[in-house]
Structure 1
Amino acid sequence: MSDTVRPFELAVYCEVFGTDRTAAGAPVFDFAIASAAPGVPVPVFGGLTVTPAAGLDRLSEADLVAVAPPVAPVRAVDPAVATALHAAIARGARVVALGSATFTLAAAGLLDGRTVAAPWIYAPQLADWFPRVRVDPSVGYVDDDPVLTAAAGIDLCLHLVRKDHGAVAAGAVAQGLRFMTPVRRADDDIAALLDWAADNLHEDLSIEVLARRALLSTRSLARRFRAATGVTPYAWILEQRVSLAQRLLETQPSLGVEEAAGRAGFSSAALLRQHFQRRFGCSPSQYRSRFAPSPRG
């Protein structure tokens, strides 16, 4: 953890990976908060403190290291922290950064040559300070395994749960996170559009179609959509379609991949395979074999 951290992203880590939701079908994680100085209280923006119980040696046991975002962007990082992060990746662990934590990874030299996601408010500064990092503020998160970065933190954490444990497990976690949803429902028009789109993923959901339904120009829709969700319409719809395809493959074993692709809004099974390979490193059929319940004998 850094000198002062942002509370929301830290709470996301705690809620997704540190809360026991096994009764609802979610996986269990061996969760700990670590710092270079265990036992020393760390300030959290807003007047709170958190006292990490573990030291950096805990990273040597972790499969996933989630970096707490500093309250302000940083250009340097504790050498001991940088060493521990590099060692974690070298032995096969993943490292996750939400929001301003991307600066920590960049300062540690973990993002050189990588494309990363960042909140639009930080993107210019990140690109200026670390010119070897490719910053894409148009996406909610980037899975460049073993390094994952996000502007939309909850989305990335749920993506990780889906990737390793399947869509049903991720749904159980998401159900417990309803009060932390990243969609700002204050924009009722966009909220209604999101609800409609989620129920009609098999339809043509181009930005022109969405704009006509919302009675907006494409430019106005793009602006208001990003304000409401943090991502572009394309990125949001693609995420919903992949998630639906996952659920169909997990819960409907008799459904063919081609039909699952069509129901989820993909024009072909080949396109679905492309997105599954990119996100999960496997084909839809392999994904089903991994996560679908085994038939009872």
Structure 2
Amino acid sequence: MYTVVVLALPDTIAFDLATPIETFGRVRLPDGRPGYRLLVASHETSVQAGPLTLAIDEGLDALERADLIIVPGRNDPTVPTPAVVLSALRAAAERGTRIASICVGAFSLAEAGLLDGRIATTHWVAAEEFASRFPRVRLDPDVLYTDDDTVLTSAGAASGLDLCLHIVQRDYGTAVAADAARLAVAPLHRPGGQAQYIVRNRPTSRTSTLGQALSWIEANAHRDLTLADIAAAAGLSTRTLTRRFKDETGQSPMQWVSGVRIRHAQELLETTDHTVDRIAAQTGFPTTSNFRSQFGHVLGVTPGAYRKVFRPQTTAL
């Protein structure tokens, strides 16, 4: 039996805290024995988790008995993790204990230096802040979770469940993990990654000098556009347009157009029963195969798989 210690930090996200408790706590082996022993530990005797106040019985010394430590996210991950917690995490890592984070719990792992040089992920909303604060971490904001042997990370919310089920499968095999997934009423493996949930290419205040161009692209992305078309609409030379796009969006104008087209296609897949061929034509892709290729490259799933997730009441294409 493995001992799992869930770390409860101040302002912890209740969902992130509950996910490993419920998932690991319900794992049963073929002979009926529990697969995991669950403990919740903190450096404080009570912790606020949103509207909940939690009484914590275990101190940080519980981490010394752990085979696996789970670090849930906090509502404000930019608040420094208490130094005593960081020291306890470093000591656990030195002992070879597996440590995993859920959602923005990756911030605490990164603060402790446990993610330096490793591939890691976190919630896509916090990815830019994370990358800025922890440049030594090889951040992949598109995946649902990462597994670097003794250090694991997951993206937001439900991705914590994906990671927990992955750990169960790693510890006890597919059959036990499949039973755990059925109890959670969740797939053992979800298609694609976090990329399909990211809202892309929406104009922000940081792109204010390109406001005219972005608005024009939004309304005309379905057309067969060229760089010259966009520059003319923006009243700029193609060279100036390209430079401003690079500076303010990190993309070329045509990359931005492709992103807008994909977002429009996502909306149609979610809200209509139009065929993939029709959606490709409506959103400006030259061919259906080009649409499928670009959609899969950016989101990591096919248009049909995306529709099943976000419009499950429709029939498969």
Q: Considering the TM-score relative to the shorter chain, is it more than 0.5?
A: yes
Unaligned runs of 5+ residues in structure 2 are: 1-7, 197-266, 271-286, 306-317
Map of 2:183 onto structure 1: 176
SS in 1 for 2:58: coil
- Is the contact between residue 26 and residue 172 of structure 1 (CA under 8 Å) also seen in structure 2? no
Partners of 1:19 and 1:120 in 2: CA distance: 29
**1:6-155 → structure 2 map (5 Å cutoff):** 6-19=13-26, 21-22=28-29, 27-37=34-44, 40-45=45-50, 47-74=51-78, 76-151=80-155, 152-155=159-162
Offset of 1:188 from its aligned partner?
A: 11
Map of 2:231 onto structure 1: none
Map of 1:233 onto structure 2: 301
TM score, norm. by length of structure 1: 0.60
Q: Which amino acid aligns with 2:181?
A: A
TM score, norm. by length of structure 2: 0.57
Q: Which structure: larger Rg?
A: 2
Q: Are positions 1:166 and 2:173 aligned together? A: yes
**1:218-257 → structure 2 map (5 Å cutoff):** 218-220=293-295, 226=299, 232-233=300-301
SS in 1 for 2:124: coil
SS in 1 for 2:163: helix
Alpha carbons of structure 1 residues 150 and 26: separation in structure 2 relative to 1, 3 Å: farther
Offset of 1:69 from its aligned partner?
A: 1.0
Map of 1:267 onto structure 2: none
SS in 2 for 1:100: helix
- Is the contact between residue 26 and residue 170 of structure 1 (CA under 8 Å) also seen in structure 2? no
Offset of 1:171 from its aligned partner?
A: 0.4
Partners of 1:102 and 1:125 in 2: CA distance: 12
Q: Which amino acid aligns with 1:98?
A: I
Alpha carbons of structure 1 residues 91 and 9: separation in structure 2 relative to 1, 3 Å: same
Partners of 2:55 and 2:17 in 1: CA distance: 13
Offset of 1:114 from its aligned partner?
A: 1.4
Offset of 1:21 from its aligned partner?
A: 3.8
Taking only the aligned residue pairs, the percentage that are identical comes to 35
Offset of 1:7 from its aligned partner?
A: 1.7
Partners of 2:123 and 2:149 in 1: CA distance: 20
Deviations 1:38-74 (A, max 9, x none): xx321112x1222221000000000000012111213
Deviations 1:4-44 (A, max 9, x none): 1112221211111223545796852110000002xx32111
Partners of 1:67 and 1:188 in 2: CA distance: 37
Partners of 1:63 and 1:163 in 2: CA distance: 13
Q: Which amino acid aligns with 1:16?
A: T
Q: Which amino acid aligns with 1:85?
A: L
SS in 2 for 1:31: strand
- Is the contact between residue 27 and residue 169 of structure 1 (CA under 8 Å) also seen in structure 2? no
Moved more, 114-123 or 20-29: 20-29
Offset of 1:93 from its aligned partner?
A: 0.8
Deviations 1:175-218 (A, max 9, x none): 1111699799xx9968xxxxxxxxxxxxxxxxxxxx969x9644
Partners of 1:170 and 1:212 in 2: CA distance: 38
Q: Which amino acid aligns with 1:77?
A: T
Q: Which amino acid aligns with 1:10?
A: L
Partners of 1:174 and 1:20 in 2: CA distance: 9
* Pairwise CA RMSD: 3.3
